[in-house]
Structure 1
Amino acid sequence: MGQGMLRRGLHALYTLCGYAAAAFLAAIAVVTLWQIVARQIGMAIETTEIAGFCLAASTFLALAHTFVNGGHVRISLVSQFAPPHLRRAVEIWCCALAAGVTGYAAWQMVLFTLQSHDFGDLSPGMVAMPLWIPQSGVAFGLVVLTVAIAEQATLVIRGQAPGYATNIDGTVD
């Protein structure tokens, strides 16, 4: 598989995660509306826990898409004043550190999710949902973010402009 095809596949994955994050945000609105309507007709429905699970999934699934499209806040104070020959080294170091930290968090979250599945952990609220289900969205989001950081690091190493250096308005830092 060529590099261009691999990058297109990865960016399709990031976009899919972005859409999934948006769907989970919409789900928060739906369950909140459901709770409001139910209360108006005299029924008590607890959706706070489900909304919280949707929020966690939405947050973590959106990370990679937001990162590769330059939506995360970057502190480029050091790199912008570094000489051009050092700027690339600083970017590579930052990507390596970010990939390491995120990779460790992803690994631990995957292990935690698998343990929740193995132990049959249930959420403590009124909706006794297996905890591995909402934890899976967080774990998957962290894994995809780690891949996205590694992919962007390869661009920096090859001397190309990474997507994260592009601002939302299309300008490059």
Structure 2
Amino acid sequence: MFPVGGVRVMLLLILAAAAVCALLALALRRRLGWVTAGAIAGFLWWLAVIGSITLIPANGAPGIVPAEGRLTTCSWDIGGPAPEGFWIFSGTQRALNAVVFVPAGALLVLALARWPRAMWLGLPLGLALLAAYSVGIEATQLALARIDRACDVTDVVDNVTGAVVGIGVGVLLALLLRPWRHRSPQRLG
């Protein structure tokens, strides 16, 4: 495997995902309305953003990681030592881990808000899937030592907390934007 990673690779993947999701939003807009179409495409794009910033090495791939230097389990030290923020954001990594999942929770609500009955099942299921996504990221970080990331259960707790906050933000946005009003016109004939 050749070394790949760095900020440029992250940004390239994020931009490519944005282009694909913008096309999806345009395709769905007429049928679902701009709020729902944008929320669905935005949710999928944000999942790609999360994947890019958590699974692509920030400073390029470290190359070969000796077996004795590789972690064999995730850190279960809940709230344990976390390094200060990444190179873009100041503050703690824990805050960043929570903040990065807020848009996913908010966009999930906006994507489902057009169908209020579906929200009763969709929100808990969506939250469970976001939690599973976070667990999957951490498991991948553990399995692939080459990406130079650490598996930490605290990250999952922070990610789910961020998603819950995002769901609250999404409810407020849904009340403001009212996507259930943006129905497709009835076809004649």
- Category of TM-score, reference length = shorter chain: 0.3 to 0.5
Q: Which has more radius of gyration?
A: 1
Normalised TM-score (structure 2): 0.32
The structure with the largest helix share of the pair is 1
